[in-house]
Amino acid sequence: MDAKRSTEEKHVYTNKLINENSPYLLQHAHNPVNWYPWCDEALKKARTEDKPIFLSIGYAACHWCHVMEKESFENPAVAEILNEAFVSIKVDREQRPDLDQIYMSATTAMTGSGGWPMTVFLTPDLKPFYAGTYFPPEERYGRPGFGSLITEIADAYRNDRTSVEQMARRVAGALAIRHRPGNNRTSLDGSHLDNARRGLMNTYDPINGGFGTQPKFPHGIELAFLMKRFAATGDDRLLHAINRSLTRMARGGIYDQLGGGFHRYSVDARWLVPHFEKMLYDNGILAAVYAEAFQLTKNELYRNTVRETLDFVLREMTDQFGGFFSSLDADSEGEEGKFYVWRKAKIKQALGDDAGAFLHYYNVTDQGNFENGTNILNIDAASDQYREHSGMTSDVFDGKIEQLKHTLFAIRADRARPTTDDKILTSWNGLMISGFVRGYQITGDDRYRRAAINAADFIRKFMYDNDALIHSWRDGKISRGEFLEDYAYFMPALLDLYEITGDYDWIRLAITLAERAWEVFADDNGNLYLAPDGQADHFIRPSDVHDGALPSPGSILMQSLLRLAAITGQDKHARRAERALTAVSGMVVTMPTAMIAAVTAVEMLQGDQVELVVVGDENDRKAFLDEIHSRYLPNRVLVISSSGNEPIPLLEGRQTDGRTVAYVCRNHTCNAPAASPEQLRGQLDKIMQFKK
């Protein structure tokens, strides 16, 4: 096989990924590697031919996945070894979160760390015996060259099978222990909330905001938890940490200063240099967090960040039928971040005499702050000083900057764009729907309301069948698998939609999904798993109680069950949530900062409860709802009705003669009905004692 074949010739190859619906898998469909998707045919081939499985897991927006493909998977010499000695399987981690969790656990167990591309070698019975992440083509970075590695592994499998199988058994045994349900159950009280708060604040970066050093992730659910703790305690240190973190992120390079939306994480502590992929889940979570922060602080930076983020999603990540796409790639034209960075000379050419204001405000220099003299736009204290001494009023300055941003955005739009992973995931759409609901609540922009409803309608029409959710959809094709994360992340979106529509059908659907989720993913002791029991392609049943870039699905399900119980009065949902929380209680006590979503469920159980009921004509109640939506009210339950006939206990005895009224109750103690938005405002003011 000629290693110097031309670029045109490489597309002669077509492997079994060609018929898949994942953009990530399709990117590899013309590699000379005889890739299979994860399927019965591939697994049977490994068993029949007694070959080890080379499993490569990644995702479409992953920069180093592209690098490894170019260096190794497009190399005919490497492909020849893989095709002869292995059954090679490529998995999109976003389509198979169960496999990703199982084999990421193996990778971290064997190497101490993980990431993507994930590189795992399995016996034909699917047990891992060697793992890593990115491997270069030749030995460097302290990593073996990939060609040498696969040659050695193939030799070991042929000639030292006993050692290979012993390693596979040891790893499988360790994973079985790691995924075994915990027996260390304990009672949970307010002290665990304080422990979680202290643990987070011990890792807080007081200079740059955020948690830890570098790389730095946004940690949206942690910031949301600290907002709840501030509301409960009035501790100004928490509010300071929240404001510094959110402000530095919104002004840093991790945020797209021209187009809106957040990149995945920052490689440095200052939020300056991002990993440039844009993930739907980050933007959904952060839109909701910034919206809540605006409710809490009334800081216009936060509301503007929500607007720009949601506008970005509407513009670049929304399907014609209403669903939301998964991600934008980090790379364009083979370079990470090329679409987003600027040279000073290019900006001067584009903006002419007005360039100076933009260059100063966004810290653009000749030498640049990124690779090859390019600049990542960002705002810092020097930017504020320039604004202060510009001689312009704040409104005039902001208007000028917006005009210049618009000019550069139009120029950027003509660049080669990063690839869009246009598959639609139920789970991530749920997170984004909640972001749009929160955005509508603080802006009143009906585009956001319609986007949330349209996306939920899309899921209901195309990704819901026989009371079960479908995980992934693209161009009319669905992928196999039923996963806890879809139920966990979509149910809160349904409850949020009810708050802005008053349509009880969203609650009915949430009830159906709650029943299905508990039936399929919970065991008798309340332990929650990521996938159904008894799957033939699992050697262990995957679970994950810890938060990562995404919150633990089980913990989010607990929160949704508690909300659902409060709305419907069906105590079984609360009992199930408490049983699931008890099942992980020992781990909540020992590692609370790794389980903030579960700790938040504890907060919901033990914190103040606010019940809000708005009854009356749909046209008249908007002013009442605006009063509610403008405020940060953690652990609140909102019930809306036009008729009072919905099967909701909080509506009993609260039918009216057509007038719109609101009821405000705190910890089951109620005020007199508020007959006007002004009366409602006064009652809400009294329960906002934490607000400074």
CATH number, domain containing residue 102: 3.40.30.10
CA separation for the pair 230, 295 (Å, rounded):
13
User: Do 26 and 98 lie in a common domain?
Assistant: yes
Q: What does the pLDDT read at residue 198?
A: 96
In a domain, 436, yes or no: yes
User: Do 666 and 569 lie in a common domain?
Assistant: no
CA separation for the pair 471, 487 (Å, rounded):
10
Residue 441 has which token pair?
């609540």
**What's the domain count of the chain?**
4
- What lies within 8 Å, CB to CB, of 98 at 6+ separation is 481, 483, 530, 531, 535, 538, 542
User: Would you say the C-alpha torsion 675, 677, 680, 686 has a positive or negative sign?
Assistant: negative
H-run or E-run covering 67:
helix 63-68
Q: What does the pLDDT read at residue 4?
A: 39
Q: What does the pLDDT read at residue 691?
A: 40
User: For the chain (length 692 residues), average pLDDT per consecutive 10?
Assistant: 41 89 96 97 97 97 93 96 98 96 94 93 96 93 90 96 95 86 76 93 97 94 97 95 98 98 97 97 98 97 98 98 97 94 97 95 97 96 94 94 97 96 98 98 98 98 96 93 97 97 95 98 96 93 93 98 96 96 93 96 90 89 94 94 79 79 90 93 82 40
Domain edge (last residue) among 572, 606, 640: 606
User: Do 486 and 601 lie in a common domain?
Assistant: yes
CATH of the domain at 637: 3.40.30
In a domain, 2, yes or no: no
What strands, in cross-sheet order, belong to the sheet with 424-425? 424-425, 472-474, 477-478
8 A C-beta contact, residue 164 and residue 129? yes
User: Do 247 and 316 lie in a common domain?
Assistant: yes
In a domain, 465, yes or no: yes
| Phi and psi torsions of 663, nearest 5° | -120, 130
Domain edge (last residue) among 178, 213, 233: 178
**3 state DSSP class of 48:** helix
Compute the residue count for the chain.
692
In a domain, 184, yes or no: no
CATH of the domain at 262: 1.50.10.10
User: Do 323 and 345 lie in a common domain?
Assistant: no
**3 state DSSP class of 19:** helix
**Structure-token match 């040891």, residue found:** 170
In a domain, 3, yes or no: no
Buried b (16+ CB within 10 A) or exposed e, 116-133: bbbbbbbbbebbbbbbbb
Q: What does the pLDDT read at residue 643?
A: 66
pTM of the model: 0.95
In a domain, 692, yes or no: no
Domain edge (last residue) among 361, 385, 414: 414
In a domain, 1, yes or no: no
Nearest CA to 529 out of 557, 550, 562, 559 is that of 557
Full domain range(s) for residue 105 = 9-178
User: Do 204 and 95 lie in a common domain?
Assistant: no
**3 state DSSP class of 270:** coil
> Burial, 151: exposed, middle or buried (Cβ in 10 Å; 0-12, 13-18, 19+)?
middle
